[in-house]
Amino acid sequence: MTPAELSRTVLHAVRRAVDEGELSVTVPERAVVAPPGAGGCGDYATSIALQLARPAGRPPRDVAEILRTRLLGEPRFTDVVVTGPGFLNLSLRGTASAGLVEEILRRGPRYGHATGFSGTAVRLSCPAEVRAVVVADTVARVLRSQGDFVRVECEGRPAPEWESVLGADVTTRGPSIADRYVTVRPVPAPADPLPLGRDAGRWALLHPAAHDRPRIPGDHLVQRESNPLFRVRYAHARTRALLRNAADLGFHPEPGPVSEAEALVAALGDHPRVLAATATHHTPDRLARHLLAVADAAMPLLPAVLPLGEEKPSAAHRARLALAEAAGTVLAGGLSLLGIDAPDHL
């Protein structure tokens, strides 16, 4: 069951409770599901009961118990637990990762993107400063991935090299009348990032939070584990190498249960939520940190993907290969939104 399917299942439980007269609320358009936080349990959690408590005129835990009784009837859940003030914690059956991997491989790099126009037009502006221009370009990319129309304006004339070298496009386009007006104004870069080139230069400007001062030149060109950009791109390149090696051995990815990669499955399932939050809060650093979390969660899985010695490829190897491919797909799609290349060879 994918995060999108989980959201629909939770909303269906809300709709049933409303239809049966146990809750008097307007059914929301979306239920946010994410890996459980501190004190939580299971595979995913949702705060939908806290969201509905006030309009329902009921304590959050009462709302959560009403929804819990309906969610327990869903055969793909092994358990539903109410924790804290009213969080619903959902435990999925062992094949949960297979559905998620199938969705990622079906959507490709557009996994987590909206499937149509959101109905929102955004007017995005930034000062003519290199970091602000790169951040504005990236925020515009992520907003468009969520279905928004975006018009970008620079308060001044950007240097041509910011586009030719760093790929930052702040050309005005989109509707002139907007539903939302956003100004991007991060802490300026302390030095010229152009000598770093496009990929390292953009990462150096985007990975720190907007209120943090970026490190330039830093170690963004160093190919070792201390460099976060290297870890993300290396994990992607490893997944692509595994696909080539598996093809040479005569087997291909097939989504299936992978019990030893819970952290990776959770991180991949969280990708749509991260993209939505990045778009809402205009924080590309959030996406950069998420990609690093996906890469770090993927690395322990990769040595077990290929059979060893005389071992024959099994269903477990094919399922691990599919999960590795899904991780590489998410890394490539996320890096693309940051304007950074994801090479197959590193």
Q: Which of 309, 200, 189, 321 is nearest to 251 (CA)?
A: 321
Q: Is the bond leading into 217 cis (omega within 30 degrees of zero)?
A: yes
Looking at the predicted structure, is the pLDDT value of residue 93 above 70?
no
- Residue 40 backbone phi and psi in degrees, to 5: -90, 180
Predicted local confidence at residue 269, as pLDDT: 86
183-232: pLDDT as tens digits: 999 999 999 999 999 999 999 999 999 999 999 988 888 989 999 999 99
The domains located in the chain, with CATH, are: 3-93 (3.30.1360.70), 121-196 (no CATH), 228-337 (1.10.730.10)
Helix (H) or strand (E) holding 142: helix 130-145
Phi, psi of 338 (to 5 degrees): -80, -5
User: Quick one: average pLDDT of 274-281?
Assistant: 93
Task: Check if the beta carbon of residue 37 is closer than 8 Å to that of residue 84.
Answer: no
Q: Are 76 and 89 in contact (CB under 8 A)?
A: no
pLDDT digits (tens, 9 = 90+) for 288-310: 999 999 999 999 999 999 998 88
Average pLDDT for the chain = 91
What was the pLDDT predicted at 147? 93
CA dist., res. 206 & res. 214, Å (int): 8
Q: Quick one: pLDDT at residue 37?
A: 76
Relative to beta strand 33-34, strand 44-46 is antiparallel
Q: Which stretch of 40-44, 163-167, 303-307, 322-326 has the lowest confidence by average pLDDT?
A: 40-44
Confidence of residue 96 (pLDDT cuts 50, 70, 90): low
The rounded percent of the chain whose pLDDT value lies above 70 is 97
The model carries a pTM of 0.76
- Say how far apart CA 301 and CA 319 lie, in whole Å: 11
Digit-coded pLDDT (tens) for 140-191: 999 999 999 999 999 999 999 999 999 998 877 656 778 899 999 999 999 9
Indicate the pLDDT class of residue 99, thresholds 50, 70 and 90: confident
For the chain, the farthest-separated pair of C-alpha atoms sits apart, in whole angstroms, at 65
